[in-house]
C-alpha cells in the first residue's frame, strides 16, 4: 500500500507542474487534487474513514493568497470531490452579490450538498464513497468499541491530504481534504473547516507563505495552527539577517509553543500533527519547503514546473518526537531549481 501511495503522490506532483502562471497552477492544484480524493487507500473522499453510523462524511478546504480567499465544506456525503466544492466557495467570494448578501466561506452537510449540486459539482450516492478497506477497518473498530476496548493512536487514522503551491509572481495556494477521524460522531467537523486551522496561504509584499497541516483536528483547529505558523514567519521577513532565527527554528518553536504545550491542547495521547510549510521570497527568487511531524511517518513529494524530476520523501520518527526537515529552491518565470537537501 505504501508503494501505491507514493506513486499517487508522484502523479499529483507531475500534474501540479503544469501551468507556471497563476491560473494554470491554481487550476492544477484544484483539479489534480482529485487524484488523491479518488484513491481508495487515502483518507479523503472515496476511501474515507467511516463515522460511528458507518457512513462517509468528508471535508475539504481551499485557500489562495490573492484576495485571501478561503472556502470549505464539511460533513458531506454526496459530493464526489469535496475539494472542487471548497474551491468554488472560495472563488465565489470574488463575486459581488447583487442583493448585498455576504458569500459564505464554509458550508456543511445538506446545505453544502445542495449548493454544490446547483453549481454543477459532480454528486454521488454515499455508498459510492465507501471503499472495501474503509468498511473492513470500520467493522474491526466497531468490534473493539463494542467490547469496551480503547482504540490505540495507530488504529485511529487522522490523515488529512494537503498540498501547497507557489507561482513565480508570489501567488500561493493551499488545499486539504479529509475523511476525518475513524469512528467520529456524525456531524463532526475537523480542522479543515476552520479558517487558519488546516491551511493558510498569504502574500505580504515580497514574501509568500502557504501551509497545509494534518493530525488531531480538534487540537489543530483550537490553536489555529496554520495561521500561527504563517504569522510567525511573516514577523521574521529578513531570514538572512544573523539576528533572526532560521525558518525551521521558527516553525519548530510555533509547533512546540502553540500546539504541543498550548493551553488549548489536551494533554492526552492523540496530540499529533504533521504538515508542509512553503515560503517564497519574490525579490530573491528563492524559497524553502519545510516538512515536520510527530507521528510515525510523513509521506510527501514535490515538483517544479521546469524540472522533470519529482522528489519524494518519507520522514520517520517515534510517536511524539517532533521531526523537521527542509529544502531550499530558486525560481523565476523561466527556470526552477531545487536543492538536494531532502
Active site residues: 160
What are the start-end ranges of the E strands in 113-226? 161-166, 172-178, 199-204, 207-215
The interaxial angle of helices 247-255 and 225-234, nearest 10 deg, is 140
Distance between CA atoms of 306 and 308, rounded to whole angstroms? 6
The residue count of the chain comes to 342
Distance between CA atoms of 233 and 333, rounded to whole angstroms? 24
Exposed (0-12), middle (13-18) or buried (19+): which is 180, by Cβ within 10 Å? buried
Query: Element (H or E) spanning 7, and its range?
Result: helix 2-16
Cα separation of the two ends of the chain: 23
Distance between CA atoms of 225 and 273, rounded to whole angstroms? 10
Q: How many CB atoms lie within 10 A of CB 268?
A: 9
CB 193 within 8 A of CB 106: yes
Three cell numbers at 174?
Answer: 493551499
Distance between CA atoms of 213 and 163, rounded to whole angstroms? 9
Distances (CA, A) of 3 to 123, 130, 154, 299, 313: 30, 22, 19, 11, 12
What is the rounded radius of gyration, in angstroms, for the C-alpha atoms of the chain? 19
Distances (CA, A) of 239 to 133, 220, 233, 249, 291: 45, 26, 9, 11, 18
Amino acid at each position: 500500500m505504501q508503494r501505491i501511495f507514493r506513486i499517487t503522490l508522484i502523479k499529483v506532483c507531475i500534474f501540479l507542474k503544469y501551468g507556471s502562471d497563476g491560473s494554470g497552477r491554481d487550476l492544477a492544484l484544484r483539479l489534480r487534487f482529485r487524484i488523491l480524493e479518488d484513491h481508495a487507500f487515502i483518507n479523503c473522499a472515496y476511501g474515507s474513514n467511516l463515522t460511528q453510523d458507518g457512513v462517509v462524511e468528508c471535508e475539504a478546504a481551499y485557500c489562495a493568497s490573492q484576495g485571501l480567499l478561503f472556502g470549505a465544506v464539511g460533513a458531506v456525503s454526496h459530493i464526489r470531490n469535496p475539494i472542487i466544492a471548497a474551491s468554488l466557495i472560495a472563488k465565489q467570494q470574488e463575486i459581488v452579490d447583487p442583493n448585498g448578501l455576504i458569500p459564505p466561506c464554509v458550508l456543511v452537510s445538506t446545505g453544502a450538498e445542495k449548493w454544490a449540486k446547483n453549481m454543477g459539482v459532480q454528486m454521488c450516492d454515499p455508498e459510492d464513497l465507501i471503499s472495501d478497506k474503509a468498511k473492513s477497518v470500520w467493522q474491526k473498530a466497531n468490534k473493539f468499541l463494542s467490547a469496551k476496548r480503547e482504540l490505540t493512536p495507530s488504529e485511529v487514522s487522522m490523515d488529512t491530504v494537503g498540498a501547497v503551491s507557489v507561482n513565480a509572481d508570489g501567488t500561493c495556494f493551499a488545499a486539504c481534504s479529509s475523511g476525518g477521524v475513524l469512528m467520529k460522531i456524525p456531524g463532526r467537523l475537523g480542522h479543515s473547516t476552520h479558517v487558519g486551522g488546516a491551511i493558510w496561504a498569504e502574500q505580504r509584499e515580497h514574501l509568500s507563505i502557504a501551509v497545509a497541516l494534518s493530525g488531531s483536528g480538534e487540537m489543530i483547529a483550537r490553536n489555529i495552527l496554520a495561521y500561527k505558523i504563517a504569522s510567525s514567519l511573516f514577523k521574521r521577513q529578513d531570514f538572512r539577517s544573523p539576528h533572526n532565527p532560521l525558518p525551521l527554528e521558527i516553525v519548530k518553536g510555533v509547533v512546540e509553543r502553540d500546539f504541543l504545550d498550548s493551553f488549548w491542547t489536551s494533554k492526552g495521547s492523540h496530540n499529533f500533527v504533521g504538515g508542509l510549510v512553503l515560503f517564497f521570497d519574490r525579490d530573491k527568487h528563492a524559497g524553502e519547503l519545510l516538512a515536520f511531524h510527530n507521528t510515525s511517518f510523513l509521506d510527501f513529494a514535490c515538483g517544479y514546473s521546469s524540472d522533470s524530476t519529482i522528489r519524494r520523501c518519507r520522514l520517520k520518527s517515534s510517536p511524539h518526537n517532533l521531526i523537521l526537515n527542509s529544502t531550499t529552491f530558486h525560481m523565476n518565470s523561466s527556470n526552477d531549481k531545487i536543492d538536494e537537501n531532502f
